[in-house]
Amino acid sequence: MKLILASNSPRRKKIMAELGLEFEVVPSNYDEKLPDDIFSYEKIEDLATKKCLDVSNRSDKNSVVLAADTVVVLHNRILGKPHSKEEAFNMLKSLSGVTHSVVTSVCGINTKTNRAALLSTTSYVRFNELSDYMINYYIDTYNPLDKAGSYGIQELPPKFLDKYEGSFENIVGLDPEAVTAVLKQLEYELN
């Protein structure tokens, strides 16, 4: 049975490889636009499911397709990928000194049995108080425009992060335990 990752994210590919999984990458063409920025698990799970369906409908009938969606949530509002450096600055400023959550929903579909499995994981992140200099340095040194909430936890400079709770990989974009649980539910043979 073939395993397909419906994502081109280098971070997700790395996490899958670290799990020892052999997989093919077939990015989803699903348009990820949300109707608004109010957070609900249903919205994120729906996005992951639609990405998964998009790829599973194009896959052969002996595959398991995995898709994921990760969002940063502050005060019940979703902080998506910023469209400009100014928007990235404002997002990082809003995250300064407060705790926010990072939610990743993983959806899997077994194309042979038409079974689906869905699991969401929540982690919590707290930044230190960030100066304008620290924020501008991060924006100029890294690429915040392709990351939810304008940051990648794996590349944060020293003194940015106060603490995190939960799965570190979930904050990066894919929780290994969720991947394993979804694959087991879909009867995919894990080594």
**CA distance linking residue 99 with residue 104, whole number of Å:** 17
Q: Write the CB contacts of 75 (distance below 8 Å, at least 6 apart in sequence).
A: none
Rounded percentage of the chain residues whose pLDDT exceeds 70: 100
Average pLDDT (146-168) is: 95
Which of the following is catalytic: 31, 36, 54, 69? 69
139 confidence band (pLDDT: 50, 70, 90): very high
Tens-digit pLDDT profile for residues 68-96? 999 999 999 999 899 999 999 999 999 99
Rounded percentage of the chain residues whose pLDDT exceeds 90: 92
Residue 174 has pLDDT above 90, yes or no: yes
Catalytic: 140? no
> Helices (DSSP H) in 31-129: which residue ranges?
41-56, 85-95
pTM: 0.93
Residue 189 has pLDDT above 90, yes or no: no
Residue 190 has pLDDT above 90, yes or no: no
Neighbours of 189 (CB within 10 A): 9
Tens-digit pLDDT profile for residues 84-132? 999 999 999 999 999 999 999 999 999 999 999 999 999 999 999 999 9
Reduce the DSSP state of residue 2 to 3 states and report it. Answer: strand
State how beta strands 63-74 and 161-165 pair. Answer: unpaired
Residue 32 has pLDDT above 90, yes or no: no
Residue 66 has pLDDT above 80, yes or no: yes
169 confidence band (pLDDT: 50, 70, 90): very high
